[in-house]
Structure 1
């Protein structure tokens, strides 16, 4: 999506495509443009393969995976598209029809803006597994004593998910929406079932500890499976909201199979060749950028220390990493660390060797062909490589690594921040304390 702004009278309009827009640099191809309300109007250029449902059409619309549902233009809370789509309320991450405290929830919506650094909700489209955090996100309350009862709902549905088919009949369907553009628009990401076939019950729902300003508290980390349901029919949603069993007619087959036998048919989308842009490799939020700046500043006079930090970050991303040794600067042979990745059952591990290289570059200094070629040239047969940086990989080296099939994990600045956030280090102060504890500098 391409955006631009210009002064305009507040209103919502749709412009037909004109070559004059392209000539002026507004758009690059024949796509619809939307002008939004506000003292500045933002023109949104939508890709021609993106399905968009207008605010007026929401009450009768089916839920189509990855389709965008537009909000209203009145400038009030009534512009919320989820409330117009479904009778589940118009605020919060947990929205539902019924009461969690009375056990009468018929349908539930999980909404994420993916903007809370302490609570990094994430959907892995290659496995179909969603990680979603509960609603006890500040200290001062018990784990289940939240205003909207979201954690209470999580506790009950995950318990029922491991019960009988009759128990799962009482589990409400969960629908995942995430923030989109423009304005209040949302994107539908799928129909969810609690848990996943590849996870233990402890991994599916875990109470994790966090701290804020010295106060400790617990919140849930829940994992759901996005079911292989391309479109959720409106007729089924109406029936469920009216109190019908979730396995009533028009029920998606994947949902019925889960209720009947706890069989997960996940919507998986293996990626094509991925070449992330500079924007995709660097964090956009101020707090996230400040985290990278803090790490860069910490190791600016002690670059060797960043090698150990890179290993720690890699362990966060790849927890099955076994032994990993940082090499001496004079003998590293182009590798800052060498290690082993462990596969298979605990009683009979398969070991794959890897080499890791780390560069403590700032965000304006990219990793190029020369740096990555150094690592590639030293990879042995059946080994893989890991390259960790606080910056980004330029387009040429990214394309060459992926096109040539080099087995190298490219860990950029955004990946570093995401890994830290997932492990409870979501602010500059928390990251600074982690650095000082884990990597005390020379003489400390």
Structure 2
């Protein structure tokens, strides 16, 4: 039984990742056995023991080829001294933001750690200019650790097949010395697997591990969208990216932190901090909007805060840049900040006031400590309002992520830094002037 090639990895399915590393049986404790699904007879086992797990290269007919890189993210480690970063998995929109493996206190160069070296090499290959170069590049198989039965280890969820779009050096905070260090972060596009029923067949990876199989022959077993990407390159990613068509209305309880959680305490702290000084909240709302919009790989410029008007129309201005040069454009971002009790609801009328001030080429961002009513969201979807809604839970998660990255997890210090260190001026300038900067 153990001699056959593994099966299919299905997006969203949880697999048992047992310490025994045995491919049999096919199911363990009610979950598919990871080692059974990824089994390659007479070859080393696929591993997820590290964050970045690059399979050994083979000498294929077309030259050296790495069969796959398996990436594992462990959300339960996020914010710790050794793992201060917070990976972002937006599977519905086909985007993953993954931090490399350089850590505080390491003496080696950031790009030479095992994980970063493999991903940077793959990033260069993913930028290949010819189909032949891209056919030899390494597919990324992404997983994240999930908790089951109160345990944080032993189960992983398959999150999809990826291509690296961008690699960026950045400064992070962490380690027992509470110091800064350099690391890499990768923006990864998840490839559409609709044609394969949201599955990746292990036979494709197995063929890439066979040194007698050419790149072209192995490519014949790849998912359709991957073959399209190999043929056309990164210019095809917008149409090949994974998208999940689902209702765009989020229930009110899902917009709020669960009671008695750290996030609920954080939201209450934020509300009380700005109660009676709501105008100061606009600076934090502007910073959070920038964090959220940049989090999907976009280029965003914070502009300025507007003077108090009391009309609920606009509190801050920013600019969203898409593309570059002649192939790019910029959008004016008009922001509204609303610091209300966490159990409050934002109505359709309140959102409509922001939308009414938008011109062609402008979008709105609404940031609140509360939640958006179902009626407000339904009207936004039906009327196709060009506006981004950031609720109380989104706000807390963004601020907490900023606090972990730059302030050792101190949320109050993060807020005070935003208020005291911002260069954004309060002004009466016209929003469209942001396009000139």
C-alpha distance 131-440 of structure 1, shift in aligned 2 (>3 A): closer
Cα distance, 1:421 vs. partner?
A: 5.7
Could you report, residue by residue, the CA deviation over 1:17-41 in whole angstroms, capped at 9, with x for unpaired residues? xxxxxxxxxxxxxxxxxxxxxxxxx
C-alpha distance 412-217 of structure 1, shift in aligned 2 (>3 A): same
3-state SS, counterpart of residue 119 of structure 2: helix
3-state SS, counterpart of residue 439 of structure 1: helix
**Which one scores higher on RCO, CA 8 angstroms, separation ≥ 6?**
2
C-alpha distance 122-214 of structure 1, shift in aligned 2 (>3 A): closer
Distance, in Å, in 2 between the alignment partners of 1:349 and 1:245 is 38
Task: From 115, 124, 127, give the equivalent of 1:150.
Answer: 115
Distance, in Å, in 2 between the alignment partners of 1:342 and 1:233 is 38
Q: Is the 8 A contact 1:359 1:388 kept in 2?
A: yes
C-alpha distance 296-425 of structure 1, shift in aligned 2 (>3 A): farther
Could you report, residue by residue, the CA deviation over 1:34-77 in whole angstroms, capped at 9, with x for unpaired residues? xxxxxxxxxxxxxxxxxxxxxx9x9632223x2514427x8867
Distance, in Å, in 2 between the alignment partners of 1:420 and 1:411 is 12
TM-score normalised to the size of structure 1? 0.68
Distance, in Å, in 1 between the alignment partners of 2:325 and 2:231 is 32
Is 1:207 the counterpart of 2:169? The answer is yes
Partner of 1:415: 394
Cα distance, 1:260 vs. partner?
A: 5.6
Cα distance, 1:289 vs. partner?
A: 4.4
Partner of 2:310: 332
Distance, in Å, in 2 between the alignment partners of 1:367 and 1:171 is 49
The CA RMSD measured in Å over matched residues stands at 3.9
Count of residue pairs the alignment pairs up: 366
C-alpha distance 186-340 of structure 1, shift in aligned 2 (>3 A): closer
Cα distance, 1:411 vs. partner?
A: 0.7
Q: Is the 8 A contact 2:282 2:316 kept in 1?
A: no
Structure 2: tracts of 5 or more residues without a match: 23-27, 39-44, 59-63, 294-298, 422-437
Structure 1: tracts of 5 or more residues without a match: 1-55, 196-203
Q: What pairs with 1:261-410 in structure 2 (closer than 5 Å)?
A: 262-263=233-234, 264-265=236-237, 266-269=240-243, 271-283=245-257, 286-318=261-293, 319-321=299-301, 323-328=303-308, 331-335=309-313, 337-339=315-317, 341=319, 355-363=334-342, 365-369=343-347, 372-377=348-353, 379-380=356-357, 382=359, 384-410=363-389
Higher helix share: 2
TM-score normalised to the size of structure 2? 0.69
Task: From 417, 420, 426, give the equivalent of 1:437.
Answer: 417
Could you report, residue by residue, the CA deviation over 1:221-267 in whole angstroms, capped at 9, with x for unpaired residues? 11222223333223222222334445424432443454466354523
Partner of 1:71: 16
